[in-house]
Amino acid sequence: GENVEQHPSTLSVQEGDSAVIKCTYSDSASNYFPWYKQELGKRPQLIIDIRSNVGEKKDQRIAVTLNKTAKHFSLHITETQPEDSAVYFCAASIRGGSYIPTFGRGTSLIVHP
């Protein structure tokens, strides 16, 4: 089955700095990679996703990159703000069908004002 590794487990940055979270996956058939943000005590919420037919996707201060050959993908947050503080989860799955997404263990991002 799929195995997703996520690093780092904790990331502490100063407000305004950039933050990068990296994930690797094992199943080359995976072609859909969502990222979720979970604030303390709340539900995970999808913030951005990328599909295997593109290498990069950007949405304002958030970007994701995908390297299919190396089987890794990354989340980049620029100009971090205190409200970006949360746990971020990456996941890997296969389009359609009933394939279950496999989640990474999460990265706790702390943005210091």
Partner 1 sequence: NAGVMQNPRHLVRRRGQEARLRCSPMKGHSHVYWYRQLPEEGLKFMVYLQKENIIDESGMPKERFSAEFPKEGPSILRIQQVVRGDSAAYFCASSRPAGTYNEQFFGPGTRLTVL
Residues lying near partner 1 in the complex (CB under 8 A) are found at: 6, 32, 34, 36, 42-46, 49, 51, 89, 93-106, 108
67/100 with CB nearer partner 1: 100
Closest approach, Cβ 92 to partner 1, in A, equals 11
Closest approach, Cβ 113 to partner 1, in A, equals 23
Contact of 84 with 19, CB cutoff 8 Å: yes
Q: CB-hemisphere CA count at 13 Å for 53?
A: 2
Q: Across the chain, which distance is largest between two alpha carbons, in Å? A: 44
